[in-house]
Amino acid sequence: MILTLVSIELSKIFKKWRTYIGFIAIGVLTPIVQLALYLTGQRYIDHLMRGLQDTFVFSGNLFNGYLVAYVILQSLFIHIPFLIVLVGGDLLAGEATAGTYRVLVTRPVSRFQIITAKFLAGIIYTVSLLIWLIILSLIVSLLIFGSGELITFRGKLIIFASNDVLWRFLCAYGFAVISMTTVMALSFFFSSMVENAIGPIVASMAVIIIFLILSAIPVDILQTVKPYLFTTHMVLWDGFFNDPIDWKDVLSSAIVLIGHITGLYLLSTYIFLRKDILS
């Protein structure tokens, strides 16, 4: 039954216009970044390696699909959560707003099955949005700009051999799935509490923005709070582009995020199981 419910939830999600806002946004923004880099990419490389070109000789294709995908991921990663909450915030509250809780909950399925199916459908939507991002940012960029070494700058210049890059991207996207699922779980949690989808969407965005601001303010007391904010751990996808990779850091962040996902799912379930359907 749970598979039937998940497939039904997915068919409902993908029949809604708002579902495609995320796909359209990524579909529009990614080519813009690609075009901009296509036109000015060399300047970007020159800027990155200013001062080094006099000392070292760089050969090969440094301006390639991997670099473009990396730039896109860095640029869009902070904004994708806002696309995720559009669907996550609607998953439960949307039923209340439409009055369809009544036809759904009076069916011979348990509330636990309903909420679990909705949560799984939300994860599948999140993954599909990230797959769309992978297709446009990585695959299309590799097709347009070709392969090569990946050059990154994080206090020091790091150049990864071309055969050492793809797995890092796959791990980074895998981590991104965990990060974005956390965002989806947060909006899902808010969605379980109210009867209008706007509230959870705005609340989720507000939480993310506030946490990001708190993380960014260089005041000691706020920096002590930083490890406890899930947004701090969300950006650890970038850890796969370190050399060497701080596995302990990456794994602990992944565990923190998975803990958030589990906790938010359990809280949402608890609320939904006890909820009086009055809409």
Partner 1 sequence: MSTGELLNGEQVIDVKGLTKKFGSLVAVNNLNLNVFKGDVFGFLGPNGAGKSTTIRMLLSLIRPTSGTIKIFGKSLKENQKDILRRIGAIVEKPDFYLYLSAYKNLEILGRISGADTSNKKIMEMLELVGLAGRAKSKVKTFSHGMKQRLGIAQALIHDPELVILDEPTMGLDPQGMKEVRDIILYLSKVKGKTIFLSSHILREVELIASRMIIINKGTARVEGNVEDLLNSNQLRVTFEVDDIMKAFNLISLTTWKQNFISKEKNQLVFEMLKKDIPALNRHLIENGVNVSSVVPVRSLEDYFLKITMGDS
Phi, psi of 159 (to 5 degrees): -120, 120
Whole-angstrom distance, CA of residue 6 vs CA of residue 127: 14
- Selected from 40, 53, 100, 262, the binder of partner 1 by CB under 8 A is 100
- Closer CB to partner 1, 53 or 100, in the complex: 100
- Contacting residue, 40, 42, 53, 110, with partner 1 by CB under 8 A: 110
Q: Hey, what amino acid is at 40? A: T
In Å, how far from its chain's centre is CA 67? Answer: 19
Question: Count of CB atoms within 10 A of residue 100's CB?
Answer: 13
Residues numbered 258 to 277 that lie near partner 1 (CB under 8 A) are 274, 276-277
Show Cβ contacts of residue 202 under 8 Å, excluding neighbours closer than 6 positions: none
Span from 49-57, 101-109, 132-140, 224-232 in contact with partner 1 (CB under 8 A): 101-109
By CB under 8 A, residue 108 contacts partner 1: yes
* 219 interacts with partner 1 by CB under 8 A: no
CB 119 → partner 1: shortest distance, Å?
Answer: 17
The answer to whether residue 102 forms part of the interface with partner 1 (CB under 8 A) is: yes
Q: At its nearest, how many Å lie between partner 1 and the CB of residue 123? A: 20
20 binds partner 1 (CB under 8 A): no
Question: How many angstroms separate the Cα of 195 from the Cα of each of 237, 261, 269?
Answer: 34, 22, 15
- CA angle (236 as vertex; 13, 262 as ends), nearest 5: 50
Q: Residues interacting with partner 1, by CB under 8 A?
A: 4-5, 8, 11-12, 15-17, 98-110, 274, 276-278
